[in-house]
Amino acid sequence: MTPLDRLGVWSSYPVVGAPADVRAWAREVEALGYSAVWWPEGVECFTIATLLLSWTERLVAAPGIANVYARDPLAMESGAERLEAAFPGRFVLGLGVSHKPAVERRGQDYGPPVPTMRAYLDGMDAAAGEGARPPVLLAALGPLMLRLARERADGAHPYFVPVEHTRLARERLGPGKVLAVEQAVAAEGDERSAREYVERYLSLDNYRNNLERLGLDTSDPDALVPELVAAGVEQGRERVRAHLDAGADHVCVQALPMGSPGLELLRGLAGA
């Protein structure tokens, strides 16, 4: 199992915010009672993890996700082991294959997701040192990646998913595996931020294909907004409970607009 409690925060603010501002933000997130902060690879996720862990006392740092194309298996394994040794029980390694456009911007070729991840996990196993490895959750959406998460990891971290996906993911992971789900929340009336969030991720094949597997029409972003974004604090709280009832162990709420501190929403959602 992982050190994750039932509620966390997912935010790109640790990537884009000024360090002094992020430090104050992280301390308030911890004081509000959230158990973890998740963030995208961005500049370099292990650096951000070290900063967040150093600035707080109990908060769990969980990259969502560490991109397997950003570092080789030895670097990933040794970095994760060192963070676990320095901050025992406070680091969770969210691991993923990212997306084709992001990988190509690195000048690399994007391989088949499941074989790429399986080979990468083999490399991490071969590189394992004497230290303890922190819990590993795979960014898993489809049935094959969820199966790999069940067989080779401690669980899964689905992103940009409706509650129905959480039910299916729990069935495919089975018992004893951690399911940590992201849920976006916008302020009531902030239709622009909700639409921008949906449009951004619909542009990526992995997310769009996953929604289509669920039978959702991806041609109309406006129709998808209610499925993927909770409107306001009360609906956000209801959506968190729905994910937990559907089998999630942990829900990390993302306060929109993307990249903002989102503290007003996070204050309202605390304790959901």
Place of tokens 């067989």: 151
CA gap 88, 214 in Å, rounded: 38
CA gap 70, 108 in Å, rounded: 10
Is the distance from CB of 94 to CB of 137 less than 8 angstroms? yes
Paired residues of 94 in beta bridges: 137
232 Cβ neighbours under 8 A, 6+ residues apart? 185, 186, 187, 188
Three-state SS at 43: coil
Which letter, b or e, does each residue of 74-99 get, where b requires 16 or more Cβ atoms within 10 Å of its Cβ?
Answer: eebbbbbbebbeebeebbbbbbbbbb
pLDDT in 10s for each residue of the chain, 272 residues: 688 999 999 999 999 999 999 999 999 999 999 999 999 997 799 999 999 999 999 999 999 999 999 999 999 999 999 999 999 999 999 999 999 988 888 899 999 999 999 999 999 999 999 989 999 999 999 999 999 999 999 999 999 999 999 999 999 999 999 999 999 999 999 999 999 999 999 999 999 999 999 999 999 999 999 999 999 999 999 999 999 999 999 999 999 999 999 999 999 999 88
Is the distance from CB of 132 to CB of 101 less than 8 angstroms? no
Question: Hey, which bits of the chain come out as E strands?
Answer: 7-10, 36-39, 60-63, 66-67, 93-96, 136-138, 155-156, 178-186, 229-231, 250-255
φ and ψ of 87, to 5 deg: -135, 70
Paired residues of 179 in beta bridges: 156
Q: What confidence score (pLDDT) does residue 75 get?
A: 97
CA gap 204, 272 in Å, rounded: 30
Q: What confidence score (pLDDT) does residue 1 get?
A: 63
Name the pTM for this structure: 0.97
CA gap 127, 72 in Å, rounded: 10
Q: What confidence score (pLDDT) does residue 2 get?
A: 81
- Tally Cβ neighbours within 10 Å of residue 237: 18
CA gap 219, 211 in Å, rounded: 11
Place of tokens 């306001």: 232
**All domains in the chain, ordered by first residue:** 7-269 (3.20.20.30)
CA gap 136, 149 in Å, rounded: 9
Is the distance from CB of 258 to CB of 14 less than 8 angstroms? no
